[in-house]
Amino acid sequence: MRSFFAKFKLFGLVLIPISAVIMYLFYNALQPVKLLPVYSPAMVNAELVAEEIQHVRKYHTIADFSLTNQNGETITQDNYEGKIYVADFFFTTCPTICPIMTKNMVDLQQSLGKDSDVMLLSHSVTPEIDSVAQLKKYALEKGVDDSNWNLVTGDKKQIYDLARKSYLAVKTDGDGGPFDMIHTENFILVDEKKRIRGFYDGTKKEDIEKLMEDIKVLQESHKK
């Protein structure tokens, strides 16, 4: 009889961890999978979108581009091919929200880690002022790590078109010329297929935390 109970005890000791693993797997399987929306122009505030594409409801992606970064290098869509990245719009002489946005982008870069494959892309809305030398000075002052973060300048019309037709991220005031832009505080999350997956207030810490969470969601989805 004692031998029988000893065997039963051994069976129980084996069964308990197996049962725990099975329950854990079932629990994870039953958890809803978090999915991020895929944004189109029709889903975004019309003030931020070029009029001719405000009706577009699907298949929206970031257009090809060719700009120059803080190191004088030509940066194109090829540099971001197959990458998750965060984009924004700024200018180096901005005294209001830009310093906060840049500080939060620096914090984001540090949180992602030195070897992160997530990239960052900041576009100047005053390229006539923000030369390569000016961008380099700004990058050094703000602690920008250029290993995966490009501050870019270039043709103003191209940046304007990217802002309003691709990233859906700036307003136009129409007073100082055809390509004048009023940038917003938005950080834009772009997936490896060049689709917009989220907008975040780059001046708010809680939005940066949400952005980090959503980046992880995209990374997990990309692995699968």
Residue 94 annotated as part of some ligand binding site: yes
Strands (DSSP E) contained in the chain are 66-69, 74-76, 85-90, 119-124, 149-153, 170-171, 182-183, 186-190, 196-201
- Quick one: 80 exposed, middle or buried, by C-beta within 10 A (0-12, 13-18, 19+)? buried
Q: Tell me the C-alpha distance between 216 and 193, whole Å.
A: 16
Question: How far, in Å, CA of 93 to CA of 31, rounded?
Answer: 47
Cα–chain center distance at 56: 22
d(Cα 150, Cα 165) in Å, to the nearest integer?
Answer: 20
Inter-CA distances, 94 with 37, 90, 175, 184, 198, Å: 31, 7, 19, 12, 24
Binding site residue list = 94, 98, 183
Binding site residue list for Cu cation = 94, 98, 183
